[in-house]
Amino acid sequence: MSKIKVMSEALANKIAAGEVVEKISSVVKELCENSIDAHAKNIVVTLIDGGLKLIEVLDDGDGMDKNDAHLAFGRHATSKLLRDDDLFFIDTLGFRGEALPSIASVSRVILKTCSDTLGTLLEIKGGKVVKEEDADARKGTSITVQDLFYNTPARLKYLKSEASELAGCVSLIERLALSHDNIAFTLTNNDKVLVRTTGSGNLHKCIHEIYGLNVSSKMLEIRASNDDFDLYGYVCKPEILKSNRNHFITMVNDRIVKNFDINRAINDAYYTYKPDTKYPIVVLKVNTDPTLIDVNIHPTKQDIKLSKINELYDLIYNTIKEALYKSLLIPDAIKKPEYNEIKDHYVENFVREVEKSSDEYKESSQVALDLSYESEKESPVILNEDLKKLVLYPVGVALGTYIIAQNEEGVYLIDQHAAQERVNYERYLKALKESITSTIGLLFPITIELASSEFLIVKDNLDVLLNMGFLVEEFGVNTFVFKEHPTWLKSGYEEESIHKIVDILIKNNGKFDRVKFNEHIAITLACKMSIKANMHIGLDAVEELLNELVLCDNPYNCPHGRPTIIKFSLYDLERMFKRVMN
Ligand code: ZN
Ligand code: ZN
């Protein structure tokens, strides 16, 4: 029986047509997703000139018989959606049916496919079958797309340059490979291997194959569940951040998605672990009951809507935060060389042999990859609790700014401002969260005169200041008098601190959010009250600062996300001085 069914007209109309083929990568995506749905274990994508000249996708999936092959290029053919209801329970990759005919109508396509003992070859030009013959009985499907948009020059000119089309394809295949770590993907352009995974079914290994050792050795595994969601994946330590969000790879029920709230949960979890303008590498798999997913049914969109998104936000946020909290995150000062050898290795060993059985081809490449992966040395996991017992012995201060410290594991450099800023920040934040505050009277009350608009804002929000432990009253025209303040204000800086807090109160007017207000005050005061670069501090003060730093929840970053501490491990030092080889 034919595997491909023809959709009812009503269902077909629910699918927004067109726009399926807009970029090289959208063609590659459609073809690869067909391969995935056909249960392929190996998918080889071959491009010539970034796909502008040729795109070929070869798989070892189920393949099609002659009848299916013809149907695949008909309108609204689909192998998976049979009833209207199915649209709302899509837990496959989405749906195609539209895609192949669209692609075939604007290019020259050669399809070779075989599901059983006899293969079929179809050549289609501008949507019409121009050649049909029997082909080899190699199980699976290969589709070659040549001269995309040859008959629609207006659309051709919208294709971007070879390099940017290629970058789109690399990013696509990396995402597909990460979301299907049990499928071996290969992407080549002009015979150069750009992506190669082994389909080992091991997500960490897949990350290693795509990003290399530098990244894979700095990923933290996360795993968590609640009533509705299961979470699994890897998040990077803050030392290998990227400058955009392209490396947030998120999947819901094995489908790559882009969801604002999921991205926000990831980014928020790294709050103060990174600067605002940097983003982590995260590979996250969410599994849930399909009834909680409202799939946006436009075929090219990856966005989805989820019921219970707040529960998912909390689960992602808390799980990543905990993973960061539990890990020792002091970055090594000496970066290991980029691990490109593995990619070069691929190039040497990779022979694009379409005819060769893909199992054999996989085995031979697997050996090389396994060796590389096993040779990766996992550093022992040191928990944050151990760090809190960590002793850093001060040696001195270099350049008036960097504390030098040591212990049996190596030498550390600590930015004195960033370190103290972190200590003060956590102290202020804790004090601001306390409901009962001890206060202290001012011998000389502090008066603050404001512009009348500002005066009104402060007057409206006076309870905020009172709750913080200030005794403050109106005092004549546009003026307040402060008679008591909470004890955590740094002595000698009371007036400056009060001015800062009043400023922040005025700036926050209208969209008052207690948590953000506290954050803002804590960061501002912490920066102001901390020792600056080039300010001299004695060794006693240094020792005290180091002891306070290791006790912080996040001792690794200042509240702006800059690093506080970097490490030269004993091994790195010995290697640099050639006391040890390799
Ligand atoms: Zn600062
Ligand atoms: Zn800072």
What gap in Å lies between CA 496 and CA 92, rounded to an integer?
60
Is 125 contained in some domain? yes
pLDDT of residue 357: 33
Is 149 contained in some domain? yes
Task: Quote the ligand 2 centre to 401 CA distance (angstroms).
Answer: 14
**CATH code of the domain containing 79:** 3.30.565.10
Is 210 contained in some domain? no
Task: Quote the ligand 2 centre to 517 CA distance (angstroms).
Answer: 17
- In this structure, the answer to whether residues 461 and 515 fall within a common structural domain is yes
Structure tokens at 275: 């600067």
**CATH code of the domain containing 316:** 3.30.230.10
- In this structure, the answer to whether residues 291 and 319 fall within a common structural domain is yes
Helix, strand, coil in percent for the chain, rounding step 5: 40, 25, 35
Task: Quote the ligand 2 centre to 134 CA distance (angstroms).
Answer: 69
- In this structure, the answer to whether residues 515 and 554 fall within a common structural domain is no
Kindly tell me the number of DSSP H helices and DSSP E strands found in the chain: 20, 24
Task: Quote the ligand 2 centre to 420 CA distance (angstroms).
Answer: 9
- In this structure, the answer to whether residues 134 and 64 fall within a common structural domain is yes
pLDDT of residue 15: 39
What gap in Å lies between CA 308 and CA 226, rounded to an integer?
11
What gap in Å lies between CA 229 and CA 253, rounded to an integer?
10
Task: Quote the ligand 2 centre to 428 CA distance (angstroms).
Answer: 15
Task: Quote the ligand 1 centre to 89 CA distance (angstroms).
Answer: 51
Ligand sitting nearest the alpha carbon of 532: 1
Per the DSSP assignment, residues forming a β-bridge with 455 are none
- In this structure, the answer to whether residues 515 and 566 fall within a common structural domain is no
pLDDT of residue 380: 47
- Each residue's pLDDT, cut to its tens digit, for the chain (582 residues) gives 445 555 544 344 333 334 556 788 989 998 998 899 899 999 999 999 889 899 999 999 999 998 888 888 775 444 444 444 444 333 344 444 567 888 888 889 999 999 988 899 999 988 888 999 998 888 999 999 998 887 777 777 777 777 788 888 998 999 999 999 999 999 999 999 999 999 999 999 999 999 888 889 899 999 999 999 999 999 999 988 988 888 999 999 888 888 899 999 999 999 999 999 999 999 999 999 988 887 655 555 667 788 899 999 999 999 999 999 988 888 888 776 554 444 434 333 433 332 233 333 333 333 334 335 544 444 444 556 666 677 899 999 999 999 999 999 999 999 999 999 999 999 999 999 887 778 999 989 999 999 999 999 999 989 889 988 999 999 989 999 999 999 988 888 899 999 999 999 998 876 668 888 899 999 999 999 898 888 888 999 999 999 999 999 999 999 999 999 999 999 889 988 988 876
Task: Quote the ligand 2 centre to 573 CA distance (angstroms).
Answer: 28
Residue 516 has a CB neighbour count (10 Å cut-off) of 12
What gap in Å lies between CA 27 and CA 148, rounded to an integer?
10
Surface-to-core class of residue 353, CB atoms within 10 Å of its CB (0-12 exposed, 13-18 middle, 19+ buried)? exposed
Is 411 contained in some domain? yes
Domain final residue pick, 272, 292, 326: 326
Domain final residue pick, 256, 291, 326: 326
Task: Quote the ligand 2 centre to 562 CA distance (angstroms).
Answer: 6
**CATH code of the domain containing 411:** 3.30.1540.20
- In this structure, the answer to whether residues 24 and 113 fall within a common structural domain is yes
Q: pTM of the prediction?
A: 0.77
Is 546 contained in some domain? yes
Long-range contacts of 574-581 (CB under 8 A, 24+ apart): 576/334
Domain final residue pick, 279, 294, 326: 326
Ligand sitting nearest the alpha carbon of 557: 2
Task: Quote the ligand 2 centre to 246 CA distance (angstroms).
Answer: 26
Coil, strand or helix at 201: coil
- In this structure, the answer to whether residues 29 and 145 fall within a common structural domain is yes
Q: How many domains does the chain have?
A: 4
pLDDT of residue 162: 78
Task: Quote the ligand 2 centre to 389 CA distance (angstroms).
Answer: 25
Task: Quote the ligand 2 centre to 140 CA distance (angstroms).
Answer: 56
Query: Which range of residues forms the domain containing residue 288?
Result: 218-326
**CATH code of the domain containing 506:** 3.30.1370.100
Structure tokens at 386: 């151990």
- In this structure, the answer to whether residues 235 and 315 fall within a common structural domain is yes
- In this structure, the answer to whether residues 105 and 22 fall within a common structural domain is yes
- In this structure, the answer to whether residues 289 and 411 fall within a common structural domain is no
Per the DSSP assignment, residues forming a β-bridge with 111 are 122, 143
Is 173 contained in some domain? no
- In this structure, the answer to whether residues 541 and 474 fall within a common structural domain is no
Is 362 contained in some domain? no
Task: Quote the ligand 1 centre to 427 CA distance (angstroms).
Answer: 15
Task: Quote the ligand 1 centre to 269 CA distance (angstroms).
Answer: 21
Residue 379 in contact with residue 394, Cβ under 8 Å? Answer: no
Task: Quote the ligand 2 centre to 418 CA distance (angstroms).
Answer: 5
- In this structure, the answer to whether residues 471 and 399 fall within a common structural domain is no
Is 369 contained in some domain? no
What gap in Å lies between CA 361 and CA 354, rounded to an integer?
10
Task: Quote the ligand 1 centre to 420 CA distance (angstroms).
Answer: 9
**Given the DSSP bridges, would you call strands 282-288 and 248-252 parallel, antiparallel or unpaired?**
parallel
pLDDT of residue 97: 53
